Amino acid sequence: MTNPYEGIAALGLEPLARGWQNSHSPALAEHVARAKTVIEVGSFMGASVAWMADHNKAARFFCVDTFLGSPEISGEDLAGIPYQHGRLMLLERFLSNMVAAGIADRVTPIIQTSTSGAKILRRDGVSADLIYIDAGHDYLECYADLVSYLALLAKGGVMIADDYSGFPGVRGAVERFAVEAGMEFEIVNGQAIMRQRYRLQVEG
């Protein structure tokens, strides 16, 4: 596997992270602190994974994102991010932020759609104590992410869906998924904290 961070420092990008404001989340901090492996689905510029890595100096992180942006991201959050060959340079910004935070050796970007990223991680035998879902916020996208990543959740692990309280699509997806997958959940600071009541055999 090639090193995604190769040559990033030479770009000379100043640290810049926008679009994530959950530094007030004690539940996320609590679960991150206990995790050995974390999968984040939807990373944007890396503010959230940098925050999580600061709360756990030993955990390994896998960050799944296309780094192409999405409809939920505001123009204000994208201000100053240049295009290259018709593509927003979000990946370069994410990588440079990881280097600046000193966590590049613990953060592996999976530059794929959520569904493809889940398949790759399963193929590679990855399982996580914490799976943090913060990618597509409409019902179908969020539901697909929850279903796709359930098989990657380690026994006793926790899934957290961000923005449960702020997006009806996320709320509906979590509530359907919880029933189908045998998850119990509580809402803390607008996030759905999910644990399995019983273990399902997940196919696919």
- Locate the domains of the chain by residue range: 26-196
pLDDT at residue 74 above 80?
A: no
pLDDT of 50-64, one tens digit each? 999 999 999 999 999
Least confident of 50-54, 77-81, 114-118, 150-154: 77-81
Residue with tokens 């992180």: 61
Instruction: Kindly indicate whether the domain formed by 26-196 is annotated with CATH number 2.30.42.10.
Output: no
Strand partners, 193: 160, 186
pLDDT of 13-23, one tens digit each? 666 665 556 55
Structure tokens at 136: 């597509």
Supply the pLDDT for residue 132. Answer: 96
pLDDT at residue 195 above 60?
A: yes
Beta strand pairing status for 183-188 and 191-196?
antiparallel
- Report pTM: 0.89
pLDDT at residue 88 above 70?
A: yes
